[in-house]
Structure 1
Amino acid sequence: MSSAEIESLLTRTNSLVEFDFPAADAVLRNAMALSRNLFGTDSPHVAELEYVLFRPNDIIYNTGHYMNRVHWNEGIERLRRVLNAMSYELKIAKVELLPPKKITLKWLFQHVSVGGWVTAGSLVAGTFSLGFFAAKNDLLARAIALFSN
C-alpha cells in the first residue's frame, strides 16, 4: 500500500503546474507524513524533505524573475529524488530471504553454489574412503582390542 502512495505522490508531483505553491506544499506535506510513518522521524528521507523549498526564504524576486523558476524546478526535482529514494528503499526492504517450505534436489541445484557442491562431494568421498580403509585394514580392530584389555 505504501509503495502505491509513493507512486501517487510522484504522479501528483509530475503533474504540478508551474508556481502552483498550494498544491506543491500539499504534496510535500503528504510526503513528509508518509516518510515519518514509513521510515521514522530520524530517517534521512525526512531530513531531506525538510530542505525541499519551492521558493527562496530569504530573498524576494519580482514576478517573472528567472530565479523564481530556478527555485521552483530545484524544489520539484529534490522532491522527486526523495520520493524515488523512498520507493527504492521500500522495494529493497521487501526482498527477504525466506526459508523454503520444502527442500528438494531441484531447489538445492538452484541455490547451492558450485563451491558448496564441491565441499559436499569431498566430504562424502572422504567419508567413503575412510570407511573403505577401515574395512580393509585391521588397525581399527587392533585399536579396539587394545582399549578393551
Structure 2
Amino acid sequence: MIRVTPHIVLHEADLEFRFVRAPGPGGQHVNTAATAVQLRFDVDRARGLPDEVRRRLRRAAGRRLSAGGVLVIEANRFRSQARNREDALARLVRLIQGAAERPAPRKATRPTRTSRRRRLEAKRRRSHIKRLRRPAAPGD
C-alpha cells in the first residue's frame, strides 16, 4: 500500500506496470532492453479514492486519461527500469496529491471606481488615436 495523503492510500493491485522499449538515443542498449515504464491506473475502479478526488483527478489527468478511464503515465527519463518505475509512481502520487487539495472557492469581486475610470479613459485615448488615422473626410 502506498500512502498518498493521511486519508488516501493506493493499493498495489490497482497499479499495472508495463515495460516497453524507450525511444531516443542509447545505442544498442536501447534496442534490446525494455527500460521505459507505462504505469496504468484505472481511476474509476481504484479503491481508496474519494469521489471528489476522483473527479478532480480525471480533470487534472487531461490527455493521459484514456477513453476507458485509465490513467497512463509514461516514464523513460532514466536508463534503468527500476528508476523509471519509481519516477512513474512518484508522478502518479503527485498528481493524486494535487487532486486531493480542494481548490479555494472563487470570491466574486467588483472593479474599483478608479480602475473603471482608468479603463474607460484608455479606451477613449485609443479611440482618438484610431480616429486620427482615418483618411480625411471630403468636406474637411
Bigger helix fraction: 1
TM-score (norm 1): 0.31
TM-score (norm 2): 0.32
Bigger strand fraction: 2
Q: Whose radius of gyration is greater, 1 or 2?
A: 1
